[in-house]
C-alpha cells in the first residue's frame, strides 16, 4: 500500500514539474519612432498566427505572455533608454537589473526582455534580464506595415534572450 502511495506522489510531482515549464516571455516594448498603432494591430491581430512558426518553435518560451507597450514602466527613464539605444554597456546593465526586479499588480516575476525601437524605426534593440543585447534590422513602412517582418524581428531578437530564459 505504501508503495502505491509513493508511486502516486512521485507521478504527481513529475506531472506538475513538466507543466511548470510552459510559460512565455514577459516583455516591454518601447517605440521612440512615433506612432505605435501598428504594434497594437500586430499584437491584437497578427501575433500568434503562426506566420513565423519555424522561428518561434526554436525558442524555449511559448511565445510572449505579456507585452507592456501602452506606457513605459516607472523606472525606465528617457536617459537610460537613450543609453541603450547608443549601446552604452552601463545603461544596458541597469536596464537588465530593472527588468529582473520589476513587479506590479499584473507582473509578479519581472520582465524577461525589453524591446526598443529607435527614432528612425530602423532598429529593434533587445535587452535581456540577464544582460543579453541584440540589434535587428526592422525598417517598416508605417503606412502599410509588414506584420510578418515585425514578428520575425521580435522572434529573432528573442533568440539572443532565450539562452538566459528559464521558464
pLDDT digits (tens, 9 = 90+) for 115-155: 998 877 778 899 999 999 988 877 666 667 788 888 888 88
pLDDT at residue 114, as a whole number: 95
- In terms of Cα–Cα distance, which of 116, 93, 121, 111 is closest to 35? 121
Residues of the chain with pLDDT > 90: what percent?
29
- Other CB atoms within a 10 A radius of the CB of residue 150 amount to 23
Q: Which SS3 state, helix, strand or coil, does residue 110 take?
A: coil
From 15-19, 48-52, 111-115, 140-144, the region with the lowest mean pLDDT: 15-19
- Given pLDDT bands bounded at 50, 70 and 90, which one contains residue 92? very high
Reported pTM: 0.80
Answer with the residue of higher pLDDT: 30 or 41: 30
Q: What is the mean pLDDT of residues 29-36?
A: 80
Q: Taking 50 as the threshold, does the pLDDT of residue 10 lie above it?
A: no
Long-range contacts of 83-88 (CB under 8 A, 24+ apart): 84/114, 84/116, 84/125, 84/127, 85/32, 85/116, 85/118, 85/125, 87/133
Amino acid at each position: 500500500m505504501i508503495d502505491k502511495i509513493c508511486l502516486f506522489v512521485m507521478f504527481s510531482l513529475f506531472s506538475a514539474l513538466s507543466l511548470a515549464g510552459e510559460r512565455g516571455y514577459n516583455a516591454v516594448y518601447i517605440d521612440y519612432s512615433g506612432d505605435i498603432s501598428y504594434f497594437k494591430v500586430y499584437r491584437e491581430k497578427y501575433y500568434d498566427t503562426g506566420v513565423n512558426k519555424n522561428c518561434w518553435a526554436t525558442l524555449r518560451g511559448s511565445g510572449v505572455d505579456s507585452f507592456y507597450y501602452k506606457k513605459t514602466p516607472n523606472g525606465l527613464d528617457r536617459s537610460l533608454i537613450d543609453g541603450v539605444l547608443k549601446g552604452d554597456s552601463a545603461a544596458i546593465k541597469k536596464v537588465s537589473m530593472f527588468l529582473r526586479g520589476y513587479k506590479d499588480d499584473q507582473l509578479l516575476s519581472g520582465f524577461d526582455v525589453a524591446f526598443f525601437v529607435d527614432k528612425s524605426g530602423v532598429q529593434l534593440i533587445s535587452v535581456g534580464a540577464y544582460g543579453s543585447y541584440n540589434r535587428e534590422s526592422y525598417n517598416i513602412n508605417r503606412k502599410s506595415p509588414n506584420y510578418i517582418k515585425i514578428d520575425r524581428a521580435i522572434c529573432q531578437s528573442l533568440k539572443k534572450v532565450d539562452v538566459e530564459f528559464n521558464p
